[in-house]
Amino acid sequence: MKKRRLGRSPIYVSEICMGTMTFGSGADEAMSHRIMDESVEAGINFFDTAENYPVPPKPEWAGETEKSSAAG
């Protein structure tokens, strides 16, 4: 997996970003962890955990994608 420097920081991220918008709604916790594990094994280290995920948004799901990504 090719990596690119993130701006002028010393951080390098994969050219492919894994979106987590279905984590918590379309993908349960176990499937979400499998997806993240396989992504990391493929060299992905860039995960989009936008605060409005998952889709469709529900108040009880707010912040859940961030928790799942941080735990992985």
Contact of 17 with 48, CB cutoff 8 Å: yes
- Amino acid letter for position 61: W
Residues designated catalytic: 53
Selection from 22, 26, 72, 29 nearest residue 50 by Cα: 22
- 38: tokens are 């396989």
